[in-house]
A = this chain, B = another copy of it.
Amino acid sequence: MCTQNNLVLYSYNKIKEMIFTYKIAPGEVLSDYTLSGKLNISRTPIRQALLMLLSDGIVEKSNSSFNVVKLDRHFLDSLYEARLCLEPYIIKHNENIDLEKAEELIKKEENYIKGQNYVNALDIDLEFHNLLFATYDNSILSASYKSIYSRMKLANVISLASVNKKAADEYKQIISSLKVGDKEKASKLLTKSISKGYTQKIKALEKYGALIFEMIRGYYENSNK
């Protein structure tokens, strides 16, 4: 029936979902004992799932306990610096971007924002970034981008507290520049967009403090109704 590998993957996906919908808040301890009870799965596959989340960069290990990474200024500084180092470089050199698909995603994001469905808009936003960077034909840099991706998903939800309603417009300009072959401009616009995202998140964190996670959880609960 359910092999050990299936149990690990199942636990991995379940715990990740709880983290990404803030049912387990950033900084919170991940007890294999508690999770084992909640998911009704023995502790060995749970611990293996936690190790996978560790390599995704959204879980930390200190001594013998695991916890969701803290979404603080230090985390955002590291993440956004890595993004600013890699993404503008990659967009300038990636010959494999599916621009049509990118435009479709932008349209979708625009519609979600119009409909105030910000949770879905965020998912599309991530998909858009993934389309631009994960297809880059350099296994080392793609792996580096991959190590950023889950952290981005975790950090991006802060945007729910301060939605950037112009994100789709910014992306449109980036894709337009790529379409006319102006990679330098696309790279600069992307740098600007990432920097803006950073500033908005820092401001939201400062304004709402820990309350921000309550707000975000509320969003997810509403969007599931």
- List the interface of chain A (C-beta within 8 A of B): 57, 77-79, 81-82, 85-86, 89, 93, 138-141, 143-144, 147-148, 151
CB-CB under 8 A from A57, the residues of chain B are 140
| Partner pick for A144 among B139, B147, B151, CB 8 A cutoff | B147
B82–A138 touching, CB < 8 Å: yes
Cα–Cα distance between A81 and B139 once the two chains are bound (Å): 11
Contacts of A77 in B (CB 8 A): 138
Pairwise interchain contact B85-A89, C-beta atoms closer than 8 A: yes
**Are A147 and B151 neighbours in the complex by a CB distance under 8 Å?**
no
Return 19 A-B CB contacts under 8 Å, by A number: A77-B138, A78-B140, A78-B141, A81-B93, A81-B141, A82-B138, A82-B141, A82-B144, A85-B85, A85-B86, A85-B89, A85-B141, A86-B144, A140-B144, A140-B147, A140-B148, A143-B144, A143-B147, A144-B144
Number of copies: 2
Task: Give A113 to B86 CA distance when docked, in angstroms.
Answer: 35
The listed residue with most B CB atoms (<10 A of its CB), out of A143, A144, A147, is A144
Residue of B nearest to A89 (CB): B85
The residue in chain B whose Cβ has the minimal distance to the Cβ of A148 is: B140
Give the distance to chain B from A148, nearest Cβ to Cβ, in Å.
6
Chain B residues within 8 Å of A86, by CB: 85, 144
Give chain B residues whose Cβ lies under 8 Å from the Cβ of A138: 77-78, 81-82
Question: Which of A57, A77, A89 has the most chain B CB within a 10 Å cutoff?
Answer: A89
Known: A85-B89, A89-B85. A79 touches B140 (CB 8 A): yes
CB distance from A69 to the nearest CB of B (A): 10
